[in-house]
Homo-oligomer: A and B are copies of this chain.
Amino acid sequence: METPEEQTPPSDRTEQPGDGDIHPELEWRSERARPGTGDRHIRLVRPHSRYFRRIGPGQLTSTERVLTPRDTMARLGMRVKRILIGAPLASAEEIHERLTKVKALAVFSSDALSSSAYATGEILLQLVAAGVAALTLSLPISLAIAVLLAVVAFSYRQTVRAYPKGGGSYIVARDNLGTRPALVAGASLLTDYILTVAVSISAGVAAVTSAFPELYPYRVILGAAAIAFMVLANLRGIRESGNIFAAPTYLFIFSFGVMIVVGLFKSLVLGVTLPAAPEISPAGTLEPITVALILRAFAAGAVALSGVEAISDGVPAFKPPESKNAATTLVWMAAILGSFFVGLSILAHLYGVSPLSTETVPSQVARAVFDTSWFYYVVQVATALILVLAANTSFADFPRVASFLARDGFLPRQFAFRGDRLAFSTGIIILGSVATVLLIVFRSDVHALIPLYAIGVFLSFTISQSGMVAHWRRLREPGWQQSLVINLIGAMLSGTVLIVVAVVKFPHGAWVVVFLIPLLVLLFTSIERHYRRINQALKPATRDPLVAAPARPMEQPVIVPVPGITKPVLRSLNYARSMSHHVTAVHVTDDMAAGLRLREEWERQIPDVSLVVLESPYRSFLGPMLAYVDAIDQQALGLPVTVIISETVSDRPWEKYLHNQTARQLKEALFNRPNTVVISIPYRIP
């Protein structure tokens, strides 16, 4: 026989092995709430703590296990998700890599450099309207754009120096110009990132289909697949790792550089030209060479500048001295981009290349220089790769800018939430979806997308540079006058180009962006106004007594709609009576005889709860039920009216269409009713 001391207290029997941890936070009987109830034996039934670890009084931290869904289908879904995007990462696992100049050039310049793959072609496409002879004009236009590039790059060097923690247009504008210009910058950045994805992917696919023309009919599907892949990769959370970016970027720099050098050598020294340049004769009469035409060609080529601002965002990623290294890298990037762009324009001129819809200009040049040798394919693959990288930078930038906006309340909170892999999932998915729609609508045609592009680029350049002007004026650090002048020139030039681009491209599609940006700003401000209003409305006034004494316990009126005497009804009634002394069951029927039979049975079987039978001559359930709730509400003297709805839950999804239709309707109707509380008691069908 056991001595009393040896007896285990009954509570301990339910403990799990290894559950030594005592987590008072996991107990449902708060001592404070009900001191000395005598229920202490229940306090000892400890939950096992595999889900939580205690880190202080009233503080628990959860383990990865809490993420495992309980039911099979959801668990399967989670497994698929993990295969696609990987296991979740804790917030503390974030890694911050510091980049050397060589790696940083690779990481930040793909967007800018990649535009040399299509900018020349776009200039030629505009000029060809005035005949093949007009193509010569591409040289001075390219030089003008190169000068513009130099000014903008020089101007951004100032930003890099002033904002060692990263100075994107939105941040610079918010700090120096105020909310409205910051929102304009934000809107133009978001627009621009979407277009970068659509344009870069289209151009990347064009590089592939130039080399393999048999893929041309599949260009939209190829592009959409590339975007889908990038969405997944970014949800998985690719580090902006220098190593991943270095190979394609330097392959591109190397192969494009070789092409330009060899091409110039062959043409100028050996005197080689393209064997038989296909003669393009545009439909109808030739356009005269006008200022408008030249401006159009200039505006088309100006897209080359997109991505130049990337380094200014990413200064903190550089190894120290951050600002100095970033500035050097920026100069290098501008120099490479400028020489590639101008070099390609010269080669296109020398080899007499005309724009074709099925083959890109760089591809024609590369074919002319290398024939269709293996090196030609190297150039095309490198071009396609760097364009994909360029699109990928938007997948890092768009969600980040969106998260800034969301954190400031201008976009829905979801944009600021980081998913399982620390990526801003909402932004990534939105970007991928909108870019895919654009790709499909524009049939993966770079030339059709270009008119929408560049407005956002130059708008954010202008705002950012103007912000820097304000910055220098405000701080007046040593040497501020010189910096101010540089940024002022940058701002004015960007602004002028912005106006030119907007005007000449307006009828060709730019109007979409011109209207879209103000609309986005309007959206941002109304979202912010809404959040502000809500926060104001939800904040308790300081004089409010915070949680009064329990408000009339067991006093609130509780209504239980009942279809008959069933197990779920009994359970609902039991629950109702455990929370209030004032429970009424209500039965709505269009057949009063059946209603009265129910009432008789009810009085015999459930005499404790009063039943009201509501006849509904118009056969509506909702109408009489809501009217009844109204009637009760009028007497409730401010107490909330509670309606208990029991719903059947079944494991077979198709069965749900056979049930709960009235329950669902009633819930929806009551949700919009003030002063009403809805209690949903699911009844699991065995």
A residues contacting B by CB (< 8 A) are 25-30, 32-34, 37, 42, 45-48, 51-52, 55-56, 58-62, 64-68, 70-71, 88-92, 412-414, 417-420, 527, 530-531, 533-534, 537-540, 544, 546-548, 550-557, 565-568, 570, 573-575, 577-584, 590, 592, 595-596, 599, 605-620, 623-624, 626-628, 630-632, 634-637, 640-641, 647-649, 655, 657-659, 661, 667, 671-674, 676-686
B58 touching A613, Cβ below 8 Å: yes
Across-interface contacts of A544 in B (CB, < 8 A) = 567, 570
Residues of B within 8 A of A615 (CB): 55, 59-62
Contact A582 B30 (CB under 8 A): yes
CA distance in complex: A618, B626 (Å) = 43
When the two chains form their complex, are residues A30 and B584 in contact, meaning their CB atoms are under 8 A apart? Answer: yes
A25 CB to nearest chain B CB (Å)? 4
On chain B, the residues within 8 Å of A581 by CB distance are 33-34, 37
Candidates B30, B88, B554, B599; contact of A618 at CB < 8 Å: B88
Residues from chain B with Cβ under 8 Å of A418 in the complex: 619
A250, B311: Cα distance in complex, Å: 86
B34, B599, B611, B624: the one within 8 Å of A62 (CB): B624
Interface of A is mostly: mixed
A319 CB to nearest B CB, Å = 29
> In the complex, A386→B143 CA distance in Å?
80
Which of A546, A659, A685 counts the most chain B CB atoms within 10 A? A546
Q: A547-B606, A577-B547 are in contact. Are A33 and B583 (CB under 8 A)?
A: yes
In the complex with contacts A570-B540, A575-B640, A581-B34, A680-B677 CB distance below 8 A: yes
- Contacting residues, chain B, for A617 (C-beta < 8 A): 61-62, 90-92
Would you call A59 and B635 a contact (CB within 8 A)? no
Chain B residue numbers with a CB within 8 Å of A619 are 91, 417-420
A620 touches B67 (CB 8 A): yes
Nearest neighbor of A557 in chain B, beta-carbon distance: B28
Chain B nearest Cβ from A427, distance in angstroms: 15
The distance in angstroms between the C-alpha atoms of A624 and B59, with both chains bound, is: 12
CB-CB < 8 A to A686: which residues of B?
537
Contact A671 B676 (CB under 8 A): no
> A91 to B592, alpha carbons, bound, how many Å?
11
